[in-house]
Structure 1
Amino acid sequence: MVELMKDYNGMIEKEDNLYKGIQVCEECTDNILDYIAEKADSLHILTAEAILSAIHVIMKDLQTELLHLRIEKNILSREISRLREM
Structure 2
Amino acid sequence: MENDIADKYEHLLEEEKELSQKIATCEQCVTAVLGCIEQHSDSIHLHTVEDVVGLIHTISSDLQTELLHLRLEKSVMTSKLNT
TM-based fold match above 0.5: yes
* 5+ long unaligned stretches in structure 1: none
Inter-partner Cα distance in structure 1 for 2:28 and 2:43: 23
Residue of structure 2 in register with 1:67 after alignment:
68
Alpha carbon RMSD of aligned pairs, Å? 0.5
Residue of structure 1 in register with 2:51 after alignment:
50
How far the C-alpha of 1:42 sits from its partner, in A, is 1.5
**Could you report, residue by residue, the CA deviation over 1:22-80 in whole angstroms, capped at 9, with x for unpaired residues?**
01000000000000011111111000000000000000000000000000000110111
Given residue 67 of structure 1, which amino acid in structure 2 is its aligned partner? Answer: L
**Could you report, residue by residue, the CA deviation over 1:1-30 in whole angstroms, capped at 9, with x for unpaired residues?**
000000000000000000000010000000
Given residue 25 of structure 2, which amino acid in structure 1 is its aligned partner? Answer: V
TM-score w.r.t. the length of structure 1 is 0.94
State the 4+ residue runs in structure 1 displaced beyond 6 angstroms: none
Instruction: Please identify the structure whose Cα radius of gyration is greater.
Output: 1
* 5+ long unaligned stretches in structure 2: none
Question: Share of identical aligned residues, percent?
Answer: 37
